[in-house]
């Protein structure tokens, strides 16, 4: 996205159109997951998914217990904050560097493999907060 672009339903649809079909095909995915951000749940976005035959998994908002990417974003934010960016360009460079050098495949796999324990914790807590 160009610098200064605000994410809204139209921008999100444009992003989906350019990236999602290939992504779904590469992974042989049948269902797409997203959070409940307003640009994700706008009527025109829901219509786009329906028109393109893409099933969207219903997902509660603010659910790090069930979404390992939320834990990854938190770790990324901590690592980036430790670098003390001096400008927007510096921040972008730091994010790219941290993403490429400090977010390992092992970390991602560990988060994914934690899903059974996450699910059990959510069930045990009857949907309340868990340690995740």
Domain boundaries defined on the chain: 1-59, 61-132
The DSSP call for residue 56 is: E
Do 83 and 94 touch, CB atoms closer than 8 A?
Answer: yes
The verdict on pTM exceeding 0.75 is no
Do 12 and 41 touch, CB atoms closer than 8 A?
Answer: no
Rg, the chain, Cα only: 17
Which pLDDT tens digit goes with each residue over 92-126? Answer: 999 999 999 999 999 999 988 988 888 888 888 88
Q: Determine the pLDDT at residue 33.
A: 86
Q: Determine the pLDDT at residue 60.
A: 63
Q: Which residues of 8-35 are buried (b: 16+ CB within 10 A; e: fewer)?
A: ebeebbeebeeebeeeeeeeeeeeeeee
Do 73 and 95 touch, CB atoms closer than 8 A?
Answer: no
31-33 and 55-57 strand pairing? parallel
Q: Determine the pLDDT at residue 85.
A: 95
């Amino acid at each position: 996205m160009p610098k200064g672009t605000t994410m809204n339903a139209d921008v999100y649809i444009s992003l989906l159109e350019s990236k999602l079909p290939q992504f779904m095909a590469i992974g042989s995915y049948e269902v797409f997951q997203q959070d409940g951000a307003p640009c994700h749940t706008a009527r025109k976005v829901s219509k786009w998914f329906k028109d393109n035959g893409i099933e969207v998994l219903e997902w509660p908002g603010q659910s790090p217990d069930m979404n390992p990417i939320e834990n990854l974003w938190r770790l990324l934010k901590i690592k980036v904050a430790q670098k003390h960016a001096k400008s927007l360009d510096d921040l972008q460079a730091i994010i790219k560097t941290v993403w490429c050098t400090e977010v390992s495949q092992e970390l991602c796999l560990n988060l994914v493999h934690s899903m059974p324990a996450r699910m059990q914790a959510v069930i045990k807590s009857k949907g309340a907060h868990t340690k995740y």
